[in-house]
């Protein structure tokens, strides 16, 4: 009976002991990410779409912290995945950067180089976090705001005209992408960038009328304009 009572009081006492809530601790990481309805999971960069001739340029790639903030800056090191066709220090340069103290995101400045091969090719650079990086590769997944962490980010680099990232937002006005269509648009408007976020959503409709009139004049003089897919260019 005595032992039973002691045992009972012991359990009774232990039951009052405050226990810590167990939490998971892992190494802080860094991840590429896309915003829902906004950024694509790959980036197209063309030297042909820059307002001036450039031998090198910087492409900003958004990355965000997966883990806790720190009062100290932490190194981020990226590498090219094996399946990349772009060549280090010929087509691109990857520098190590810091995630600044107390920051949760950073734009990684990828340096792209205008190599002769880009006149005829689109080179693919598949970026991932280097295993030796102080901030390791962050876990992939979808956040509550539908933004998504990615383990890799593909950058297509060329000096040819390629489909701009924003084309999906203007296709309902200007039609499906083709190099022929895009060249015609550039020639008629004098613009290189038709991103509604840059020129304004109202402006894309004004330019549509300009292009429609221009293609009518072109057809009158030359006949239909046929693109590389065999489709007639219309606006």
Partner 1 sequence: MLKIKLNIYVFLFIWVSLLSCKKDNQDFTYAKINELQINADSVLSINQFDTLKINPQILQSKPGAGKFTYQWKIYPDQIVAGFTPMIISTDESLNAVISVPPLLGGYHLEYKVTSTDNGVAAFKMFTVNVTSVFSDGWVISSSKDGNAELSFVRSDYRVFYTPAMSVNQTVYSGHAIGTYVYPISDGTQLGIGFFTDKGNYRFSANDFLQTGTSVTSFTPAKDKFTFSLSKFKTEEYVINDGSLYAASIFDGPLNVTYTERLSGDYYFFPKVITSTLFNTYFYDNKNKRFMSVAFGGFYITPAFGSSSTAFNMGNTDMLMVGAMDGPQTSSSGVYYFVMENSNGERYLYSLSGAQPGLNQKILNSPEIESAHSFASSLLLRQMYYATDNKIYQYDILANSSTLIYTFPAGTSIKQIEVQPDNGKTLVVAANAGSTGQVYFFNLDNLGNISNNTYSQMIDGFGEIANIAYRKRN
Identified binder of partner 1 from the candidate list 96, 205, 224, 229, rule CB under 8 A: 205
Please give the C-alpha separations between residue 150 and each of 81, 135, 143, in angstroms, as whole numbers.
Answer: 14, 15, 11
Indicate the helix (H) or strand (E) that contains 62. strand 56-66
Q: Which is nearer to partner 1, 9 or 88 (CB)?
A: 9
Rg over alpha carbons for the chain, rounded to the nearest Å, is 27
How far out from the chain centre does Cα 30 lie?
14
Contact between residue 30 and residue 138 where contact means Cβ atoms under 8 Å apart: yes
Show contacts of 186-191: CB within 8 Å, 24+ apart: 188/214
Q: Which stretch binds partner 1 (CB under 8 A): 37-45, 109-117, 178-186, 204-212?
A: 204-212
**9 binding partner 1? (CB under 8 A):** yes
Q: Which is nearer to partner 1, 205 or 229 (CB)?
A: 205
Q: Which stretch binds partner 1 (CB under 8 A): 61-69, 100-108, 131-139, 211-219?
A: 211-219
Contact between residue 184 and residue 190 where contact means Cβ atoms under 8 Å apart: no
Identified binder of partner 1 from the candidate list 7, 206, 224, 229, rule CB under 8 A: 206
Which residues, in sequence order, are bridge partners of residue 31? 64
The least CB distance from residue 14 to partner 1, in Å, is: 15
Q: What does the alpha-carbon distance between residue 75 and residue 48 come to, in Å, rounded to a whole number?
A: 33
Q: What does the alpha-carbon distance between residue 177 and residue 46 come to, in Å, rounded to a whole number?
A: 15
SS3 126: strand
Block residue for tokens 């032992």: 3
**200 binding partner 1? (CB under 8 A):** yes
The least CB distance from residue 169 to partner 1, in Å, is: 13
Identified binder of partner 1 from the candidate list 141, 212, 224, 229, rule CB under 8 A: 212
Identify the DSSP state of 232.
B
The least CB distance from residue 212 to partner 1, in Å, is: 6
Q: Which stretch binds partner 1 (CB under 8 A): 5-13, 70-78, 136-144, 162-170?
A: 5-13
Identified binder of partner 1 from the candidate list 209, 226, 229, 232, rule CB under 8 A: 209
Identified binder of partner 1 from the candidate list 202, 221, 222, 230, rule CB under 8 A: 202
The residues of the shown chain that bind partner 1, judged by CB under 8 A, are 1-2, 5, 8-9, 200-206, 208-210, 212-213, 216
């Amino acid at each position: 009976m005595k032992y039973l009572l002691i045992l009972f009081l012991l359990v009774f006492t232990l039951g009052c002991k405050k226990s810590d809530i167990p939490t998971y601790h892992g190494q802080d990481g860094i991840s590429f990410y896309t915003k829902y309805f906004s950024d694509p999971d790959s980036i197209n960069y063309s030297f042909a779409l820059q307002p001036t001739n450039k031998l090198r340029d910087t492409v900003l790639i958004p990355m965000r912290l997966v883990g806790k903030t720190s009062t100290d800056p932490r190194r981020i090191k990226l590498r090219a995945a094996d399946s990349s066709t772009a060549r280090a220090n010929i087509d691109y340069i990857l520098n190590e950067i810091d995630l600044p103290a107390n920051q949760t995101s950073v734009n990684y400045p990828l340096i792209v180089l205008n190599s002769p091969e880009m006149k005829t090719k689109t080179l693919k650079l598949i970026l991932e976090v280097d295993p030796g990086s102080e901030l390791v590769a962050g876990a992939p997944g979808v956040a509550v705001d539908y933004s998504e962490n990615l383990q890799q980010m593909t950058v297509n680099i060329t000096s040819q005209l390629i489909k701009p990232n924003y084309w999906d937002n203007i296709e309902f006005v200007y039609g499906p992408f083709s190099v022929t269509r895009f060249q015609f648009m550039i020639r008629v408007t004098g613009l290189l960038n038709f991103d509604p976020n840059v020129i304004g959503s109202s402006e894309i409709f004004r330019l549509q009328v300009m292009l429609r009139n221009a293609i009518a004049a072109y057809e009158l003089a030359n006949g239909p304009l046929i693109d590389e897919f065999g489709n007639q260019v219309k606006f």
